[in-house]
Structure 1
């Protein structure tokens, strides 16, 4: 117990030391808090992106999927790789608009593109609500690792409270340093969580030092491990398609992704960063899933697949190796929760509270963001406790995708098409999100009557139809056309580096909805 807690303390101490050594002497402005001065190169962007993409629950929920259901776990590799590839394609316009108009968040972009604070508000609410399940998963990962680190000596409640306290303490520096604090620590946390984890996976699969698994086990797994949903089971033929489609589309809609675009120093940094992200993410996740699949041959892993990562490391190297596994999960959890909570606090302050007639100053926005983050984490802790024993934790992640993909229609059409208007964007998002939410409550996994499509897919189809029909019926004003044309011209301008920021036009609620 003391060895593993000591290893966690050393890791946490290094993170705090990095924050102290890299902090600025001056209190950051709210813009610095949001995007870190748009000054980071490709490796920082890449590691920050990976840290915001693979949470600590990857080693629990998704590892458990591979250890319990086999190759099905690899669906995460398909959607993550394709999603980052599409991010590469949209990076130029997103970054240039962010730099030119002083955009801080993804809803900022949508509000500007459709000239509507209402669009900005609805998009932000959808984003915050959809991120929430991921923070719950992160809190559960923290609870699990403290349970393991203490050998069960601490109760679940104490484990969750300790994890929550550490994350809240970490957020002190997030608020103080802004995005800079996240970027600087993401590099260290990412190396531990993904590079070291990949090395451990290679060692186990190579059979080093009496590893309980090896590459040989992959050729001897049961036939059931090699099947995916829809291949002779209760799922329909469209289930896997639904998961991958919502994953690819949803990966481009996460607010955390856009924050990483805005922090880059140039379009080149964003694109180079996405290439590095594919490399890091692809190697890490593939190796982790192969370890999980190989672990299906072990009775103790099959009996409790969601704790299979810890079981394998305990068998592999005893207390010290188990302690390293706990630190790896802690690093991934901290990085992902930090990024998610920071973005949600930012959007609540910048897009929801600050979207009305009153404009708050930097200090007021920072206070609002801080309070929002604390409340957000407290709620996530309560839900994490109530759902801790849920048998298929990855369903929480899948549910979150059903909501976030509803941003795809106005986001993609808004970035790549000059058509559409605020009325279509609003009606489409609201109708799609409501339908996806209702269907997900009734059918949390799949809709058998529709070939195992998920509620999110149905919501996106309705969203798209409503967006196009309402936009066609309501039309666009001359001002709307001129505004969109100016944005598309700005998206083609050079240079590819930071230019003097032109703040986005301030819109009152009345102008945005009726103008």
Structure 2
């Protein structure tokens, strides 16, 4: 056991050395919030991965692949589609951020819609939505201590141990702000997703030797998706559109040194994400068919490495989860502090740098303690918590993408639509599961999204803006319209339409596919490769 702890401790000490060596004092709240907009594409790519793939999601994806088969493919599919979406919004978001000194999502909405009330409401909605994701991160870290002590620590004790680690980590988060987060994301990302990939490959070889290979056991797990033809598509839509609604993800667009770095980060991050997630699913497939891991659930990641090489590999496996979790948990905590300070309190009070940091620190501490309290409760499947969080955050997507793409969208429609969507999602999640099942397995967030979009479009059509506002918005859009011809752009958009259609087809409910697990797996594998090509086409079209 102590060998495992020693490996984790070495990683933590090396991270402290990296942060100490790269420390640069913040000169302003802009430095604290967006790292001075100074990071290149490799930093950006790793920062995205370390925020996007937390330890809890790694555990849940492995467990989902082992117990629910091809349904697990929704994670790599929507992860790649999210990068594809970044290719569409990244250039405009970065330029508006640089030109108008934007630090958060709410800053952008205040600029686009000219409404302080909207930015405050949006901040409240995102903070509330991020808390389940923060709980997921702490639960993921909690499992680490439970696994390292072979179940000796209870759930509450494991989570409290995770909170202690995160609170110690906050010394550098508070001290270095976003600059420290991005630098640590690079180091943590290399450990988690490059080192983690090597570990997974080793586990796959071991599982193949000891258990062989067949897809047959996955057939039994495909049944929950059949009869709910819209469930997979709902998860993909929610994941894709909701991805850039998360404050810690969105703010990464501001930290780049130029718009080209944003685009190139997608080309760097997407292949790593694809290889890592597909290998993780394959590992879950192999482990799920072995009787010794039949009841492991989300702990199957640790159980595989325990059986392989005992404490040594368990220590490395725990280090991967810790490295992956830190970036996400730190990012969530830092973004909540920044939002409460900058977008809620700062809207009504003129805060100097010192006061902004104080309010951010207090908010970070209170939210961490509240999330730790919630994480002490037993949650059987971590993936359920992630899906629930997405149903809420999805309602912010109309305000963001509508504001970026449609000039007629207005603050009234944004506030009414987002509010109605959020309430609808919560009510359906609490009381409408029977209705959702009768609708083909569509999730609560998708139904709420349709309500949200309808209100937003109607307000845009029937509540016209005055001439001054139209001129202001036109000026914003004109700043980022590309007039450079590109022979690849039409191909990129055409392929994007094809990929979206392919992603939404309910293949698990088509009889010849559902009855042949090989076809369904290759179907999603082909889709992932097609989206990868699409990302590259958008990148070269913007060069």
Q: Same fold (TM over 0.5)?
A: yes
| Distance (Å, rounded) in 1 between the aligned partners of 2:435 and 2:197 | 32
Is 2:260 the counterpart of 1:268?
A: yes
Residue pair 2:408, 2:464 contacting (<8 A) in 1 also: no
Is 2:296 the counterpart of 1:301?
A: no
| Distance (Å, rounded) in 1 between the aligned partners of 2:339 and 2:161 | 26
1:19 alignment partner in structure 2:
19
In the alignment, structure 1 segments of 5+ residues that lack a partner are 496-515
Residue pair 2:181, 2:330 contacting (<8 A) in 1 also: yes
2:451 alignment partner in structure 1:
462
Residue pair 1:75, 1:244 contacting (<8 A) in 2 also: yes
1:166 alignment partner in structure 2:
165
Residue pair 2:235, 2:387 contacting (<8 A) in 1 also: yes
- Offset of 1:196 from its aligned partner? 0.9
Whichever structure has more helix as a proportion of its residues is: 2
Residue pair 1:215, 1:294 contacting (<8 A) in 2 also: no
1:342 alignment partner in structure 2:
334
Give the secondary-structure state (helix, strand or coil) at the position aligned to 2:36: coil
| Distance (Å, rounded) in 2 between the aligned partners of 1:333 and 1:457 | 28
- Offset of 1:395 from its aligned partner? 1.0
- Offset of 1:80 from its aligned partner? 0.6
Residue pair 1:229, 1:239 contacting (<8 A) in 2 also: no
2:364 alignment partner in structure 1:
373
1:506 alignment partner in structure 2:
none
- Offset of 1:392 from its aligned partner? 2.2
1:57 alignment partner in structure 2:
56
Residue pair 1:122, 1:426 contacting (<8 A) in 2 also: yes
Task: Output one character per residue of 1:452-481: Cα deviation in whole Å (capped at 9) or x when no partner.
Answer: 111101111010111111233322122211
Partner of residue 222 from structure 1, selected from 217, 223, 227: 217
| Distance (Å, rounded) in 1 between the aligned partners of 2:479 and 2:86 | 19
| Distance (Å, rounded) in 2 between the aligned partners of 1:313 and 1:445 | 40
* 1:58–1:225 Cα change, 3 Å: farther
| Distance (Å, rounded) in 2 between the aligned partners of 1:310 and 1:420 | 48
* 1:422–1:200 Cα change, 3 Å: same
Structure 2 counterparts to residues 131-170 of structure 1, below 5 A: 131-170=130-169
Residue pair 1:123, 1:407 contacting (<8 A) in 2 also: yes
In the alignment, structure 2 segments of 5+ residues that lack a partner are 485-543
| Distance (Å, rounded) in 2 between the aligned partners of 1:68 and 1:226 | 6
Is 2:347 the counterpart of 1:355?
A: yes
> Which segment is superposed worse, 49-58 or 481-490?
481-490
| Distance (Å, rounded) in 1 between the aligned partners of 2:413 and 2:137 | 35
Give the secondary-structure state (helix, strand or coil) at the position aligned to 1:359: coil
| Distance (Å, rounded) in 2 between the aligned partners of 1:17 and 1:86 | 36
The root-mean-square deviation of aligned C-alpha atoms, in Å, is: 1.9
What TM-score results when the alignment is normalised by the length of structure 2?
0.86
Residue pair 1:71, 1:228 contacting (<8 A) in 2 also: no
- Offset of 1:446 from its aligned partner? 7.8
- Offset of 1:414 from its aligned partner? 0.9
Is 2:318 the counterpart of 1:329?
A: no
1:422 alignment partner in structure 2:
411
1:508 alignment partner in structure 2:
none
Is 2:398 the counterpart of 1:409?
A: yes
Task: Output one character per residue of 1:316-372: Cα deviation in whole Å (capped at 9) or x when no partner.
Answer: 12210111101111111111101111111111111111112x211111111111111
Task: Output one character per residue of 1:95-132: Cα deviation in whole Å (capped at 9) or x when no partner.
Answer: 00000000000111111100001111111112111111
